Structure formats: C-alpha cells, structure tokens
Structure 1
C-alpha cells in the first residue's frame, strides 16, 4: 500500500524520520530527565530568539534574561504585523510552513513554523491519535470542517483530504436535509473515526437522536470521535457517545502551536509536555498553584522561525492538582464556545462558519486588529471591527460576497469601526454571538 500521508509530508520537506526519533526519545525520559529536558529547551528557545530574532529582541527590550518568570508574555496583538518582520534571521517566507490562525478569538494573524518544528508537531499528533488505533495512512476520517469555496482553495483542500485519507463534510449548512445526506455517507463508507468542530458534530448527534439512530449500527467500522476548536460540554459528550456508539475524545489545540491537550485512554486531558511548555498564570503573569484558574500561556519549544514564547493564547484554564512536570493534566478549560446561527431559510451554521467569512478581511498587513460578529435578528448581523485604516467599500463588498457564498443571500450586515471592542470580565473576546 502507498502510504500517501507519509509521502505528502516528505514531499513538503518535513524531516519526519528525524522528528519521530527525537519525539520517541523524549517519551522515554524519566521524570527527572523530563524536568531537565523542559528547562533546557526553554532556555534554548528563549536564547535562540533573543540572539537571532530582531523582532523578539526588540519586544523583550534586552538581549538576555536570567529568570524565566521575568520573560514577558506575548499576545495575539503582538503578531499583527507583516510576517516578514517577525521571522528569525536565516528564515524567509519561502522556507517556512506558513498559515493563518482561525481568528476564533477575534485576533487573527499569520504565523510561521520552521519545517522541523512542524515535523515534530506532526510526530506529536500521530502519537496521540495512535492511542486510539488511528493511523493517518490507512484510517479513514469523517471530517466535519469548513472548506474554502473558491476553486483553488477548494481543490487544494480536497487534494489534502485525499492524501490524508479523509472525507470532508462541509459545515456551512447543517439543516436536516443536509444531515440526511451525511448519514447516507456513513451508511456507504467504512469510516474509522470522526474528527472536527464540536458544535457541528453535536448537531449531527442531535439529528441522529431525533431519528433514533445509533451511528455504529449503520457504520460499524467507527472506532472513535475526536472533537476540537470549541468547548465540549459534558451533556453534549454524553449525547454523542450514546448516538455514535463510540468514545468521544476531547482535543484542545492551536494551529500556530500543536495539540495542547488530548484526552488519554484513562479519560485524563493530558497536556502536551513534549513540544510545548504550558503554564497557567495570574494577572501579574506569575505561575499559579495547580488547581487554580488562570491564563493559559504556552511556549513552543521547537519553533525557531517564529517566537511563541510565553504566548497568551486567550483562554482561561486550570491544571489538575495531581499534575506533575512529567504529566500535566488539564482539569478545565473555560471559554472557546461558539453559538450556532439560524438563518431565515432554516439553515443552521456553526459560529466557526464566520471564520471562513472573516478570512476575507484578514490580511497580512495587520490592519484588522479585532472583530466580533453578532446576530441581532434572523436576517441581521452586526460586524464591529478595529483597524488602523477604515475598511474600504471594495473590502466591505468582498465580505458581503463571501457572506452570500458561505451563508445565504439577502442577509443584512452593518459594519462599524470601533476604537476598541467590549470584552468579557475575563478579557476574552467572543468572535460570534447570537442575540436571538
């Protein structure tokens, strides 16, 4: 059998064999060795960027720091400038893996990973999915994700789906009529696992509940379901387990980093301590004791192309009291919920659909600082945004065209430029909110 997934990573220049060897070596470290490894990697990546990244050195304001707790915390706003200005010396946009964050927090930006950092990210993902018997080369995925609707973007994603052994269900319309067709695909195809946005998969589970169908009765090859990008509520997890007939695994990740936490076979939300250093900090950016809530702040231990050092991802979380450096466990994540938009036609679209709409206004020049979208009526939405330069009529028209394409025509949007946007008491900016 041709291992298309391995082949595609190799073709893109990712040194997977070397990365997997190093990752496996980390896994074998004793608790004492793991502590030494983490402290060494923290110092290495900090000093690397202080010495080789003018942007980061300027951000810190000095060329060396002795105490880790004195390292300044970075936020998404610190990355809202052209990527070329943020790259380390010896890296260019052509030599790195480049992508955009989803903007689900309302603070979008373009990021980069050097190719080895991206390779070890994949080693981490392959390892964790392997706990559930998933092999990306042969396991067939039912994928509940968005997809670009322009020809080039659409074609590129479909090719990636083919190489990644995936069949994608687009999430822009999850009405009962569409979900009926989704169910037919499960009857026709031998899927091994489900992966995708929480709210979309919950809607499918509720559809199955209405029809009194257990998914493994029509697709007995299913082993597991991984949900990501949005909060998984306990009642939704119970519903999905009942209607799918398989374990539901909670995944917490960020495209600019890696899988941050992944539910293990014992039901623990195990934090990634191999490629990341995850801290919970208070308002003064100091570590809090295990069991205390605070800001989730993450350091990417391998990314030399772009600094993610003490990076405030925008979430509030709690590490379990039984956590150790060797085995940190995420007890609770607060936030990351997305409402579902109900449109005049009866169409239901998860809040993350708006990611694909707002991509139209996310540009690498860093002009768009923040945005929030509110549904005020069935057919009426408000977009409040913060920019250095006001959006032009051409840009607004482009957004309206994207709305027609991804949602449906005849929706009314008002655009309001603001100096700042209202945040929650915890400082979180919710990208989409339904006021219905």
Structure 2
C-alpha cells in the first residue's frame, strides 16, 4: 500500500533533512519532485496542483526557513496537508435513531461490492450490532448464492427471493422483515452497474427512494485509480452518496484513488479493504494513512489488530506459561497461527515506524507454514519435551512435514532461545514482562 509513493517522497525528504537551512530554491526543487511523485502515483492533476501550492506557501514561511530543523518542518507541513486532503477525521457510518439503520451498497460490477457488504456487516456484528444483509442484486445469477454463503460464514442472516424479479419489492420486504426480527442495521447489496447505464441507475434511484437509506456507500476498486475517482463523482451527482469504501488497497502500490477521491467527490472514505479474508477491512483514519504514505508507520492500527486477535485472558495465560517455564511447542504454534490471522506479516511489519527503511528485509511467510507443519508432525510427548528429539525422531518429523532435519534443528534452537530470553525477565529485578507479546 503506497509503496512507490512512499519511496519517492522519502527520497525528497532525505535531501531536505540533509540541509542545515533551506532557501526558496530548495523549496521549489522539492515541490517539483513532490508534484511528480504524486502524479506518478495517479493522483488527480487538480488535486496535486492545489496540494503542492498549499505546501509551498507554508514551507516558504519564516517559521520553516529560520528553523533549526527546516527539513522536518516541511515533512510536518506535508503530513498536515495530507491529513486535510484525506479528510482530517475518521467518519463513521451514521446510525439511525429509529432502527433499523439502512446502508445501501452501490458500485460497479467487479469492485468487490458483495464481499465488502459482508465484511462491513461482520465489522458491526463484532461491535454487538444485529446486522442483516439483503440480496438485491438480481442481475447476476450467482450474486444471491454468494451473499448467502458469506452470510453463513459470518453468522449474519440474508434476506433473499429467487422468484421475485423486482429488486425494489425485495428491498421493501427485507426492511419489513428486519423490523420483525429486531435487526438494527441492514446492508442492501445492489447490482453492479455502469454510471452510464440510465436504466440501471434509474433502478438504483427507485431502490433508494423505497428504502430511504441512512447511508449510501459507493464501493470502488482502488487499483483502477482515477477511473474509480471519476465514477464515484458521477454516482454522487446522479444518485447521491454519503461515503466511499475502497477495496483492494493491499494491492494498490500507488494510492492515487485514496488521495484524490475525497477532494474530487466531497465525500469521505469510510472503510478500506486490506485483503481477501472476510475480516480484512479497516475504518479509514486519515492521519494513520498519511503516516503510512510518509513512511512513519501506523502503530495504532497494529495495536487494534493485535487486540482483536489476542484475547486478554489468553494473553495472561500465555505470559504465565512463559514465566513458569511451561511454554510448549504447541503454545508456540498457537501464537504463530494468531499472528498469521492478523493479515500478511509484511503488511503488519510495515505498520511499525522505521521498518520500511530497512532495505532488503522481507518476511518469508512460508516459514510460518513450515513451522506449524513441523510441530504438527510431532507427538504430544515430543511437543511437551523437545529434549527427547534424537536423530531418528527428527528425520521422521522432517519427512512428515516436508522439511529438512536442518529446518527442525533451526526450529528447536529458536524455541530454546526464546525460553532463555524469557528467563531473563523472570530472574532479573527491574525487568518487567511486556503485557503484549504476539510471538
């Protein structure tokens, strides 16, 4: 996410930070490079022009030019202006004072709208809400079955009708059913449509008039760049939207859509899709995204992911096991499995400030799979007491897990090193065991 833009901006800032003082000529050169970096990231031309002008005016102020750290002052100005461009604050989905809240999902076919509907429904379910989804996409034969399957996966009911051909009636019946079932938030998955298809756009307006949604969300594929921005703008003009969900952000190294879309449409980004798994969706926080773009990491999002994954009681048990020397290979496997469930490891590490500056450092996620396979190939006795692992046992484990004896030896060494490190926390005064240790 934003990898290429981050790299280019870092090069600009490195030059600025290397100077003891800045001249107006230095600022001009830096602004040209920032403008080029943003354009290459597929940011809207008008947005780039306005952004660079604002940064330049503030960077030429006496506070920057006379500062002891002018380069850092410019970085701060860029960060502040990025936050403003992205929307300043996190804007949540508005909830109706008279349930159910109705959220209408709209967008092009292939943008990930149906999956996104389920992702957001799951997000609200984890917050204690009682969501329901409505299969109102009657254009695509498999759409109803897809939403039903996703509903079963996340434990959220789906209202559908395979006989009814009018999506407006389906939606009206769904709202009535939601009231009977005391569902407090309803997500209506509509058919994907082109903004130039007058008939389908008219149908979407009819649905909107019928259900009177609290929010209409436009789902856009971030990887389509400025096409997504322009189409969102047209949808807003024709039917009116309240917010935007950008999907496939994990595959968008440029980030042009995310940076441009708020300024062009006047509507906030409310969620971003960060992976294929059903729980990989995040509320959009402008200041956190600005930090990622500028290579400053995103510690808050990392902590939130960890808190969602690691139950507090389980974490306390895990800490006790480490301190009492009862930490087994089974425990190690369970912890690694939880970390993997947080998302791609490289993405998690990139949230840590400074990690992206460590060139050439990449995580082989297959290694996690190999470790789990090796531990699963051990007997219960071996997992509790790895000291009994002799040559023949190691050969059996390596064959059973598709690895080598050297891999098994490496795992055992890492396990023993970890236990030694934990003894330091137990045995030395003044050393406190960290509250959160997602090994």
User: Same fold judged by TM-score > 0.5?
Assistant: no
TM-score computed with the length of structure 1 as normaliser: 0.25
Instruction: Tell which structure's C-alpha radius of gyration is larger.
Output: 2
Higher strand residue share: 1
TM-score computed with the length of structure 2 as normaliser: 0.25
Higher helix residue share: 2
